[in-house]
């Protein structure tokens, strides 16, 4: 495929789309599919056909529109968004194309939830059909790849990525340009590019959404990476719990191969690149890069000590670039618009945007993409609408099991890697769980410790046995049978795990405990000294059982 | 010139020592008679860095480094025995004692157990974390050997010796976290294993009484490891 051919395809597709007077986009990402959006789409198609509007109106399955809690979501070419569309509503939706918006189904879009977003990663989500490569190409897809192959040397590509200031979205925020440059300098018989799509944090679904809504964007990012570091083979490690993402990735790979965008001598360049899928079996620790690599190699997915880092000795002992889905999803826009453009967005050390999965005690739950540096208050209150009527904000948990709980005092803090670390949490993969006065912070810490204990791979002693004891102690505190000594032991274990565990799982497992101890120590004390749970959560079950 | 670069000089606990490039901190420390506690590592097997007892402080690095896998570097300054490290080591050993049922008084390896002798050396007089007292199996189905999971510390030496030296890969690990355990074949009785060659290497590399020979009573199980350096040396010579 040459750049001219790509333009041709884009033009043809755009013309075809212009041929339709009306368009109805139905979300067919997992959130909406789970409330029967596919049935809604069929019903709308049927209704369009019944009215003989088939030639005028395109009904398209598109990716995630963000406000998943209000699904199924449907948007139309009249510029309106409908929420909670049922199969019976199909005629009303089609009718509204001619008669004007149906107020009954209308979802307001002139609200901060939509308006305050800045979409780079999600720019095509909810707009293009994830199962048609032509639609991605018409939206400017693969032009960044063509630009990289045709106009830039590998070193220049890395320079753009470095200039952009992009940092890894998989959790740790490692500078992407630096990682690419290390892999490009490493010597090996061959090199690999791996996309980490294991997304294991409870409550996080940004990566799933991108894969389900815009899979080619990830492939394009991987292709550009392969060109930059000199890799010839790629793997996408995606958890088996994401069947729809897997299906769409398979389709995307097949289409890209057919279009000559994956394979040998892509666009008559030196680049030959093949991509394969590997399915994870649901172990959280397999998201850790060395465990993930071991799993791809067909071994037990447990981490190994680093160094050597994957960049030097990764998959099958060869230099390997491993990045997260969202990291790769940022690459095409960076190459298209230049690193400097990207670096204008965000804060001094955290550039670009971040997708957050907003959940918990907020009015609007769903996915939002915001520039780095917006405040927690903007996300939770303006966009999320704050806790529901009558509820009081208590804390927001970021970073999942490796993160922490941030109290109201820090609501005006701009969100970036540095600030989150300063207050004892992490960016993580972008989960954001809002909690109100009905959450007991000890109980929250126990929930995450339970997760870490059962997801520990069992290889190193501090993590394997330490998480067990920490969970046991937290359990005793919530049972209100713990003593001050237990609390001291809990703190001792926090320090031990943080400093001696082999991998990030154990090293960061204490974070939820440490951060709740830091900001909500009085709750721990109340459980231990007064034997009461201030939030009234702990012991509720027993009371219910024993009256 | 090129040859000179192969030798590194560094400081361990304030002492100037020299090392070959590619040596680990642990190897160099041992050559110089500096003690670093270890349980999972064994010369002749690959290193997994799992027990975390060998963690040391390296000046200029925020994180503690496992001495068994960390390569020496020119001008490195290593501390192997700070109070902080001692505290962590004792805590890790204590965690091991709480994890399964280590009842030395009735153990075949009493007196010859690496876990026990390390605990003595680090002056562990009591365990301040709660014991778990799990129910663990004993598999005596093999005609010559026994695996007693009560005594296993999951160092995976058996797994590695079986795969790397014997080439049988009878042993592996199953389960996660606190439920992890070593298994023979696909968690089948050792006695009916199709892959076990009966070589006994696993028994002799096991640091505790988890793997033992049948017919041994309390304190009678002595482990013989001489074969391992011998075999690895022969193989290395073979290769060069
Ligand atoms: C326990 C654990 C789980 C992880 N899970 C994920 C994950 O699900 N997805 C991911 O992208 N990175 C995960 N990571 C981070 C990866 O190890 C790695 O840093 C990341 O894939 C690098 O990509 P990036 O530089 O683009 O962020 C995890 C790390 C740890 C320690
Ligand atoms: S000897 Fe280094 S971690 Fe066990």
Q: Taking residues A266-277, report their average pLDDT.
A: 96
Residue B103 and residue B40 share a domain:
no
pLDDT band (50, 70, 90) for residue A265: very high
Residues from chain A that touch B115, judged by Cβ atoms under 8 A, are none
> Over the stretch A181-239, which tens digit does the pLDDT of each residue have?
999 999 999 999 999 999 998 889 999 999 999 999 999 999 999 999 999 999 999 99
Last residue of a domain, one of B32, B55, B81: B81
pLDDT band (50, 70, 90) for residue B227: confident
Q: What is the largest CA-CA distance in chain A?
A: 76
Residue B108 and residue B220 share a domain:
yes
Cα angle B212-B213-B217, degrees, rounded to a multiple of 5: 85
Residue B74 and residue B91 share a domain:
no
- Which residues contact ligand 1 via a Cβ below 6 A? A 168-172, 174, 196, 198-200, 284-285, 287-289, 322-324, 327, 429, 503-505
- What pLDDT is stored for residue B1 in this prediction? 46
Residue B146 and residue B74 share a domain:
no
Bridge partners of residue B79, in order along the sequence: B57
Residue B32 and residue B98 share a domain:
no
Residue A156, min C-alpha distance to chain B (Å): 32
Query: How many structural domains are present in chain B?
Result: 2
Q: Which of B25, B40, B52 to mutate to test the interface with A (most CBs of A within 10 A)?
A: B52
Residue B124 and residue B22 share a domain:
no
Residue B119 and residue B134 share a domain:
yes
Please indicate whether residue A540 or residue A272 has the higher confidence score (pLDDT).
A272
- Domain assignment present for residue B112? The answer is yes
Last residue of a domain, one of B81, B98, B124: B81
- In the numeric block, the tokens 């505190």 are attached to A477
Give the domain range for residue B91.
87-228
Distance (angstroms) between ligand 1 centre and the Cα of A218 equals 16
- Domain assignment present for residue B234? The answer is no
CB pairs under 8 A between A and B: 93
What does the block give as tokens for A513? 């405990």
Stretch among A189-198, A337-346, A357-366 having the lowest mean pLDDT: A357-366
- Domain assignment present for residue B180? The answer is yes
Beta carbons of A116 and A353 less than 8 angstroms apart: no
Q: What is the DSSP string of A225-293?
A: HHHHHT--EEEEEEETT-HHHHHHHHHHHHHHHHTTSSBSSGGGSS--BEEEEEEE-S-GGGGSHHHHH
- Domain assignment present for residue B176? The answer is yes
- What pLDDT is stored for residue A542 in this prediction? 63
Task: Quickly list H helices, A267-416.
Answer: 289-296, 325-329, 331-337, 339-343, 376-377
Residue B174 and residue B127 share a domain:
yes
Distance (angstroms) between ligand 2 centre and the Cα of A133 equals 50
Q: What is the DSSP string of chain B?
A: -TTGGGEEEEEETTEEEEEETT-BHHHHHHHTT-----SS--TTS-----S-TTEEEETT-SS-EETTTPBP-TT-EEES--HHHHHHHHHHHHHHHHHTT--GGG-TTTTS-HHHHHHHHTT-----SPP------EE--SSSEEEEGGG-----HHHHIIIIII----EEEES-GGG-EEEETTT--GGG-SS-----HHHHH-SSSSEEETT--TT------THHHHHHHHHHHHH-
Q: Which domains, from first to last, does chain A contain? A: 18-113 (3.40.30.10), 140-343 (3.40.50.11540), 353-436 (3.10.20.600), 441-546 (1.20.1440.230)
> Over the stretch B42-81, which tens digit does the pLDDT of each residue have?
999 999 999 999 999 999 999 999 999 999 999 999 999 9
- Domain assignment present for residue B1? The answer is no
Residue B212 and residue B126 share a domain:
yes
DSSP letter (8 states) at residue A68: G
- Domain assignment present for residue B60? The answer is yes
| Number of neighbours of residue A174 by Cβ within 10 angstroms | 12
Residue B55 and residue B150 share a domain:
no
B200 lines ligand 2 (CB under 6 A): no
Q: Is the pLDDT assigned to residue A322 strictly greater than 70?
A: yes
Q: Residue B218: which CATH number? A: 3.30.70.20
- Decide: helix, strand or coil at residue A439: coil
Q: Is the pLDDT assigned to residue A341 strictly greater than 90?
A: yes
DSSP letter (8 states) at residue A351: B
Beta carbons of A248 and A131 less than 8 angstroms apart: yes
- Domain assignment present for residue B235? The answer is no
- Residue closest to A321 by CA, chosen among A183, A221, A197, A198: A183
Last residue of a domain, one of B62, B81, B100: B81
- Decide: helix, strand or coil at residue A65: coil
What average pLDDT does the structure give for chain A? 95
- Domain assignment present for residue B41? The answer is yes
Q: Which positions in chain B have a beta carbon within 8 angstroms of at least one beta carbon in chain A?
A: 48-52, 55, 63-64, 66, 69, 88, 91-92, 95-96, 98-99, 128-130, 132, 153-154, 156, 172-173, 175-180
């Amino acid at each position: 495929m040459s750049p001219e051919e790509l333009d041709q395809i884009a033009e043809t597709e755009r013309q075809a789309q212009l041929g339709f007077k009306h368009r109805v986009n139905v979300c067919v990402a997992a959130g909406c599919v789970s409330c029967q959006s596919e049935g809604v789409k069929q019903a709308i198609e049927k209704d369009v056909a019944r009215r003989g509007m088939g030639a005028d109106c395109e009904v398209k399955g598109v990716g995630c529109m963000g406000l998943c809690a209000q699904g199924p979501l449907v948007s139309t070419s009249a510029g309106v968004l409908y929420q909670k569309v049922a199969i019976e509503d199909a005629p009303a939706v089609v009718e509204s194309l001619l008669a004007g918006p149906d107020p009954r189904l209308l979802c307001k879009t002139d609200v901060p939830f939509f308006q305050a977003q800045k979409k780079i990663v999600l720019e095509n989500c909810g707009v293009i059909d994830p199962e048609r490569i032509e639609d991605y190409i018409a939206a400017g897809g693969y032009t960044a790849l063509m630009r990289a192959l045709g106009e830039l040397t590998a070193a220049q590509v890395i320079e753009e990525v470095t200039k952009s200031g992009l940092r890894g979205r998989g959790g740790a925020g490692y500078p992407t340009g630096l990682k690419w440059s290390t892999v490009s300098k490493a010597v090996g018989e061959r090199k690999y590019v791996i996309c980490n799509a294991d997304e294991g944090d409870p409550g996080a679904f940004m990566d799933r959404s991108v894969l389900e809504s815009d899979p080619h964007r990830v492939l394009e990012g991987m292709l550009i990476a392969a060109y930059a570091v000199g890799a010839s083979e790629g793997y996408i490690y995606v958890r088996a719990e994401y069947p729809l993402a897997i299906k769409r990735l398979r389709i995307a790979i097949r289409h890209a191969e057919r279009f000559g965008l994956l394979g040998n001598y892509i666009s008559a360049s030196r680049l030959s690149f093949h991509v394969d899928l590997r399915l994870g079996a649901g172990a959280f620790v397999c998201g850790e890069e060395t465990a993930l690599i071991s799993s791809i190699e067909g071994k037990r997915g447990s981490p190994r000590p680093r160094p050597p880092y994957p960049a030097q000795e990764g998959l099958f002992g060869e230099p390997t670039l491993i990045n997260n889905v969202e990291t790769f999803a940022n690459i095409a826009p960076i190459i298209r618009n230049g690193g400097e453009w990207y670096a204008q967005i965000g804060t001094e050390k955290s550039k670009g945007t971040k997708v957050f999965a907003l959940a918990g005690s907020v009015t609007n739950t769903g996915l939002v993409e915001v520039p780095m540096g917006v405040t927690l208050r903007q996300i939770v209150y303006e966009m999320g609408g704050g806790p529901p009527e009558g509820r009081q904000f208590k804390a927001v948990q970021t970073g999942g099991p490796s993160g922490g709980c941030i109290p109201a005092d820090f609501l005006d803090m701009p969100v970036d890697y540095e600030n989150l670390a300063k207050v004892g949490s992490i960016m993580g993969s972008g989960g954001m769980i809002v909690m109100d006065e009905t959450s007991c912070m000890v109980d929250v810490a126990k929930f995450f410790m339970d997760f870490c204990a059962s997801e520990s791979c069992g290889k190193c002693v501090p993590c394997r046995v330490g998480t067990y004891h920490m969970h046991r102690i937290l359990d005793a505190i919530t049972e209100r049978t713990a003593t001050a000594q237990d609390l001291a032991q809990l703190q001792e274990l926090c320090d031990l795990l943080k400093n001696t565990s082999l991998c990030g799982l154990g090293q960061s497992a204490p974070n939820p405990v440490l951060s709740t101890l830091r900001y909500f120590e009085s709750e721990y004390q109340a459980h231990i000294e007064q034997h009461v749970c201030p939030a009234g959560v702990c012991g509720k079950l027993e009371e219910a059982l024993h009256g | 010139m090129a040859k000179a670069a192969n030798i590194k000089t560094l400081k361990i606990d304030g002492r100037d020592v020299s090392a070959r490039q590619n040596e680990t901190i642990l190897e160099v420390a041992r050559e110089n008679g500096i003690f670093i506690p270890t349980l999972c590592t064994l010369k002749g097997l690959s290193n997994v860095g799992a027990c975390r007892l060998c963690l040391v402080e390296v000046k200029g690095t925020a994180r503690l480094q496992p001495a068994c896998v960390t390569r020496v570097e020119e001008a490195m300054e290593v501390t192997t025995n700070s109070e902080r490290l001692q505290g962590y080591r004792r805590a890790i050993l204590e965690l091991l004692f709480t994890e399964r049922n280590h009842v030395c008084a009735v153990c075949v390896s009493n007196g010859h157990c690496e876990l026990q002798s390390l605990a003595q050396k680090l002056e562990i007089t009591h365990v301040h974390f709660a014991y778990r007292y799990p129910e663990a199996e004993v598999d005596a189905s093999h005609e010559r050997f026994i695996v007693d999971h009560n005594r296993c510390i999951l160092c995976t030496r058996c797994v590695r010796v079986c795969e790397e030296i014997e080439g049988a890969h009878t042993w592996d690990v199953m389960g996660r976290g606190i439920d992890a355990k070593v298994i023979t074949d696909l968690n089948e009785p050792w006695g009916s294993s199709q892959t076990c060659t009966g070589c006994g290497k696993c028994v002799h590399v096991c640091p505790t009484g988890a793997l033992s020979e049948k017919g041994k009573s309390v304190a009678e199980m002595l482990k013989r490891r001489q074969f391992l350096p011998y075999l690895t040396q022969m193989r290395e010579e073979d290769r060069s």
